[in-house]
Chains A and B, each alone.
Chain A
Amino acid sequence: MTFELKRRAFLQLIMGTATTISASAPFAGALAAANDAATIGWPNDVPAWDPNQRFTPDAQPIFKAVFDQPLDQDPHLKLIPHLIKAWTLAPDALSMAVELRDDVTFHNGDKMTTEDFRYTFLERNKSGLKLDIANSMRKVDDIVIESPNKATMKFSSPAPTMPQWLAFLGSYIVPKNYIESKSLDNFLKSPIGTGPYKLAEYELNSRIVLERNDNYWGPKAKIARVTIQIIKDPSARVAAIQSGQVDCTLNVPVREVQRFQQDSEYIGEINPITRVILINVRNDLAFADKNVRLAAHHAINKPALSKAFYGGVAVPLSVLATPGTPGYLSDFTFKYDPALAKQLLAKSGFSPDKPVKIGFATTNGQFPSDYDIARAIAQMWKQVGIDADVQVIEYAKYFELNRGNKLPEATLYSWDNATGDPEIFSGYQLNPKMPFSPWKDEDIGNRVLALFNVADYDKRIAGYRDLERYAVENGATMPLLQSVVTVVRKKKLAYTKYGNGWLLPQTLQWS
C-alpha cells in the first residue's frame, strides 16, 4: 500500500510539472510580441566589449547601438555628422579640425568632450594596448584640444580618408574617465557608450539585451528593448524565425529566404551590399605567368555563380568596387571568355590535357556558399586547363599564412567596406604593406602607396578608378561578385536598409 501511494504521488508530481512547464508557453511568447520589444537572431557574438579592439564587421551594428562614432553614414553611405557636428580636412590632408556636439552624455551621465575623443584616437594607441584601431589611426600624430568641443587632429602624412575612417570599423568614442577610474577590465564587463541603447545584459555566446537610452542626444529608438539572441548555426536561425522565437534574423541560406518569400507572414530579403567576393592572387609560383592569371579570370562565369548561389541577386564585378560607390566603373567589363582563357594558356604551353597546377585556398562557412563557390570555380578552371587543388583554411589562419608567404596561388576572399571608399577597397587589398593581399608586385604596390597620400578627393578617386582597371587587366586581382546579406523578418517589423548591410537595432520598429 505504501509503495502504491508513493508511486501514485510520484506520477502525479511528474504530470503536474509537465503541465505547468507547457502551460507557461504563451507567457514568454507574449513578451516577444509586444510592440516595445523585439528579438533578433544574430550569427555571432561580439569578440569583446571594447569596440576599438577588433575590426569585426558583424559586430558593428551591435556596437553602433551602444556606442557612437564621430561621423556616421546615411543609408546611401553618404558621410554625415554624428558626434562630430562639423569637420574640415585641410587641403594637404595633414590636419583635420573637428567640432563635437556639446549635448552628448555617456550612459553614466558623464559629458562627452574632446578629452574622450583624444583618449580614444590617440592616447589608447600610444599606451601600448594592442588595438585594431591603431591601424586605422596610425597617421594620427597628435590631437590638439582647443576647447571641450573643438580639437584638431594632426597627421604624420596626408590622411585623406580620415573622415571615412571616423565612420568605419572600430571608431567609437569610449569614456576616458570611466575606463581610467574603473579599469579596462571593468569597462569590458560593464561597458558604457553614448549610443541609443544601453547594454542591459550580456551572456557570453547567448544573448545581448539592449534597453533604450531615453537621454540619447539623437532620435530615440522606437523599440524600448531589443534582445540579440546569438544563434550561430544558420539552420537554427531559420528554425528560430519560423517558430516565432525571434522576430528577425540574418545571414540565412539563400534558398531559405526564397522559401520565406512565399510566406505571407514574413518578408525575406536578399540585399546586395558593399562587400566584394574576390580571388586574391600571388604574383609568383604558377601565377608568375600573366597569361595564367588572366586565363583564370576569363574562365570564371560570374553570372552563373550568382545564379547558382545567390539567386541571381549578387552583381558580377569586374573591379574591386560595388555599384554606387565612387570607385565603381560601370563602363568596364572583364569578360567571361573560356575560349580566350584557353588561348592564353596555350601561349604558355598549357591545355586541358596538360593543365597548369595551382593551389586554391578557401574558407568554409566564413561567408555564404564560400566553399561551394571555390569548388565551382575549380571546375570552371578545369575546363580550360587549370588544375586547382582546393584547400580549406580557417579565416583566422589567412593572415598568418599570408605573413609567412605560405598562401597558395589563389585564395577566395570576402572583403567588407562599409564606407564604400575605394581606398578601403582596392587601396587596402592591393597595398603591399598591408596584410590582406598576397600580391606583392612593386608596380601596382607603388601606384597604391602614392594614392594614399593624395589629398584632393576627385584626383584620388580618379586615381583609384585607373588603378582598379589596371590591376584587373594585369591579373593582380580577380573580383567576382558583390556579396549579399540575407534578412528574414516578420512582416510587421520594419528597419532601415543600409547599402552596407547594417541591420541597426535603433532603426527597428513595429507597424
Chain B
Amino acid sequence: MIATIITLIARRLVAAIPILLIVSALLFCVLRALPVDPAAMSLPPNATIAEIDAKRHEMGLDRPLPEQYAIWLRGALHGEFGQSIQFHRQAGSLVATTLPATIQLALAAMVIAAILGLGGGLILFRVRGTILEPAADLFSIVLLSIPEFLWGLILLFVFGVALRALPFTGEVAPGLPVPHITGFLLLDSLLIGRFDVFLSACRHLVLPAVALGLAFSPTIMRVLRSSLFDVYHEDYIQQARLRGLSERRILVGHALKNAALPTLTLTGVQFGILFSGTLLVEVIYSYPGMGNLMVDAVRNADLPLIQTIGLTYCVVVLLINTAVDSLYVVLNPKLRLR
C-alpha cells in the first residue's frame, strides 16, 4: 500500500509541473491583457510620463510577452513572485502570511461539511420510502440553493447580532495575543499553552466555517444517498440481511464503507471549490485569509499579487486532489499495487 501511495504521489508531482506551467502562463497572459498599467500604479500619482516609462522598462513591461513570462518564471523558481503594487512587499511573503488562515478555515469548514454531509446523507437514505422523504428531499434542495456568502450573512445576523452568541470579526478577540510559530493560530495557541487564545480562535472560526460547511454539505449528502442506493442492490447486502443483521448495522457497517468511496472523491473535489469559496466568507467576517487579500488585490489591480494568489489556489487544489487519491488507495484495496 505504501508503495502504491508513493508511486501515486510521485506521478502526481511530475504531472503537476506542466499543469502549473500552463496555469501560470494563462494567468500571466490574461492579467497582462487587462487595461491596467502596473508601472503607473506602482509610482506616486504625480509621476511623469518619463518616470513611468522608465519604471516600465525596469519592470520589463516593454519586452515581448513570452520574454516577460520567462523573467517572471525565473524569479518564481527562486521564490520571488514580484512585488505587490499596493503593499510594496513581496507578493509571496503576503500570501505566505495569509494562507494558513485560509487553510485553517477551509479545513474546519470541510470537517463540518463532511459531518453534516455524512449524517444528512444517512438520514436521507434512511427516510426513503417513508412519509418524511419529500420533506427531507426539499430540505436538502433548499440547503443546496443557498450559497456560502448568504449563509455567512444569515449566520452573522442571527448568531452575531441578534443573539450576540458568537463573534464575527477577525481571528481572535481583542486583548488576546496572536502567536506566530506555524501561522496556524489554533495550533500556535496550543503550542504556547494559551488555551484562552485557542478557545477565542475557535469561537471566531465557528460562524465562517459553518457558513462554508452548510453550503457544501448538501452535495455530499445527495451523492452519498445516491451511492447508498447503488450499493444496496448488491448481493452482500441481501446476504447480511439473511444473516440476521439489523438494518442499522447493515447500513453503517457494510453499505457505508463502499458508498463512501465515490463520496470521498467528490469531497476532495468539493474541497478544492470550497477553498476558493472562502473568498467572500472571509470578506464578510473580516477573516485575514488569502481570499480577503485577493479582494484587495483585485480592487487595486495589484497584478503580481493576483497572479501569486491565483497560482497558490492552483497548487492547493492539486495537493488536495493528490491527498484524496492517496486516501482512496488506502480505502480501496483493489487500487493497491501487488
Chain A interface residues (CB < 8 Å from chain B): 20-22, 24-25, 27-28, 31-32, 37, 39, 41, 45, 47-48, 50, 53-55, 130-132, 134-135, 188, 201, 203-207, 209, 225, 227, 229-233, 236, 239-240, 242-246, 394, 396-397, 399-400, 403, 434-436
Query: Is the Cβ of B88 less than 8 Å from the Cβ of A403?
Result: no
With A400-B40, A400-B41 known as contacts, the answer to whether A233 contacts B164 (CB < 8 A) is no
Given contacts A239-B156, A245-B167, 6 further A-B contacts (CB under 8 A): A31-B176, A233-B284, A236-B285, A394-B299, A399-B45, A403-B49
With A28-B173, A37-B175 known as contacts, the answer to whether A243 contacts B168 (CB < 8 A) is yes
Is B265 positioned at the interface, with any CB of A under 8 Å from its CB?
A: no
With A243-B160, A394-B299 known as contacts, the answer to whether A236 contacts B286 (CB < 8 A) is yes
Query: Is the Cβ of B200 less than 8 Å from the Cβ of A24?
Result: yes
- Most chain A Cβ neighbours within 10 Å, of B41, B176, B199: B199
Query: Is the Cβ of A229 less than 8 Å from the Cβ of B168?
Result: no
With A203-B178, A403-B49, A436-B45 known as contacts, the answer to whether A230 contacts B200 (CB < 8 A) is no
Expressed in whole angstroms, the minimum distance between the Cβ of A317 and any Cβ of chain B is 23
Query: Is the Cβ of A240 less than 8 Å from the Cβ of B86?
Result: no
- Most chain A Cβ neighbours within 10 Å, of B46, B87, B157, B161: B46
Is B37 positioned at the interface, with any CB of A under 8 Å from its CB?
A: yes
List chain B residues, Cβ under 8 A from A130: 42-44, 47
A-B contact count (CB 8 A): 152
- Looking at the complex, which of B7-15, B255-263, B288-296 is the stretch in contact with chain A? B288-296
CA distance A436 to B47 in the complex (A): 11
CA distance A229 to B299 in the complex (A): 20
Measured CB to CB, the nearest residue on chain B to A136 is: B46
CA distance A316 to B203 in the complex (A): 47
Query: Is the Cβ of A243 less than 8 Å from the Cβ of B292?
Result: no
Query: Is the Cβ of B173 less than 8 Å from the Cβ of A31?
Result: yes
List chain A residues, Cβ under 8 A from B167: 28, 245
Is B272 positioned at the interface, with any CB of A under 8 Å from its CB?
A: no
With A24-B203, A132-B44, A243-B164 known as contacts, the answer to whether A32 contacts B301 (CB < 8 A) is no
Measured CB to CB, the nearest residue on chain A to B88 is: A48
Chain B interface residues (CB < 8 Å from chain A): 36-37, 40-47, 49, 52, 86-89, 94, 97-98, 156-157, 160-161, 164-171, 173-178, 196, 199-200, 202-203, 206, 283-288, 292-293, 295-296, 299-301
By secondary structure, the A interface counts as mixed
12 A-B contacts (beta carbon < 8 Å): A22-B203, A41-B169, A55-B45, A203-B171, A203-B288, A204-B98, A207-B170, A209-B174, A230-B288, A239-B156, A394-B299, A403-B40
Expressed in whole angstroms, the minimum distance between the Cβ of A409 and any Cβ of chain B is 19
Query: Is the Cβ of A206 less than 8 Å from the Cβ of B170?
Result: yes
Query: Is the Cβ of B203 less than 8 Å from the Cβ of A403?
Result: no
Query: Is the Cβ of B46 less than 8 Å from the Cβ of A434?
Result: yes
By secondary structure, the B interface counts as loop
Query: Is the Cβ of A53 less than 8 Å from the Cβ of B88?
Result: yes
List chain A residues, Cβ under 8 A from B43: 130
Measured CB to CB, the nearest residue on chain B to A38 is: B174
Query: Is the Cβ of A47 less than 8 Å from the Cβ of B87?
Result: yes
Query: Is the Cβ of B286 less than 8 Å from the Cβ of A206?
Result: yes
Query: Is the Cβ of A204 less than 8 Å from the Cβ of B169?
Result: no
Expressed in whole angstroms, the minimum distance between the Cβ of A258 and any Cβ of chain B is 18
Measured CB to CB, the nearest residue on chain A to B115 is: A14
Query: Is the Cβ of A134 less than 8 Å from the Cβ of B44?
Result: yes
Query: Is the Cβ of B36 less than 8 Å from the Cβ of A227?
Result: no
CA distance A53 to B45 in the complex (A): 12
CA distance A89 to B43 in the complex (A): 31
Measured CB to CB, the nearest residue on chain A to B35 is: A397
CA distance A396 to B84 in the complex (A): 14
With A21-B199, A205-B98 known as contacts, the answer to whether A236 contacts B169 (CB < 8 A) is yes
Measured CB to CB, the nearest residue on chain A to B206 is: A21
List chain A residues, Cβ under 8 A from B202: 21
Expressed in whole angstroms, the minimum distance between the Cβ of A293 and any Cβ of chain B is 25
List chain B residues, Cβ under 8 A from A47: 86-88
Point out the residue from B49, B200, B283 that lies within 8 Å of A232, measured CB to CB. B283
CA distance A242 to B168 in the complex (A): 12
Query: Is the Cβ of B45 less than 8 Å from the Cβ of A32?
Result: no
With A48-B87, A403-B40 known as contacts, the answer to whether A205 contacts B296 (CB < 8 A) is yes
Measured CB to CB, the nearest residue on chain B to A50 is: B88
Query: Is the Cβ of B164 less than 8 Å from the Cβ of A396?
Result: no
CA distance A108 to B140 in the complex (A): 59
List chain B residues, Cβ under 8 A from A435: 45-47
Expressed in whole angstroms, the minimum distance between the Cβ of A273 and any Cβ of chain B is 21
Query: Is the Cβ of A244 less than 8 Å from the Cβ of B286?
Result: no
Expressed in whole angstroms, the minimum distance between the Cβ of B141 and any Cβ of chain A is 27
List chain B residues, Cβ under 8 A from A205: 98, 286, 288, 292-293, 296
- Most chain B Cβ neighbours within 10 Å, of A32, A227, A245: A245
CA distance A24 to B165 in the complex (A): 10
CA distance A492 to B135 in the complex (A): 50
CA distance A246 to B292 in the complex (A): 20
Expressed in whole angstroms, the minimum distance between the Cβ of B211 and any Cβ of chain A is 13
Query: Is the Cβ of A206 less than 8 Å from the Cβ of B171?
Result: yes
Query: Is the Cβ of A135 less than 8 Å from the Cβ of B44?
Result: yes
With A135-B46, A396-B300, A403-B52 known as contacts, the answer to whether A24 contacts B199 (CB < 8 A) is yes
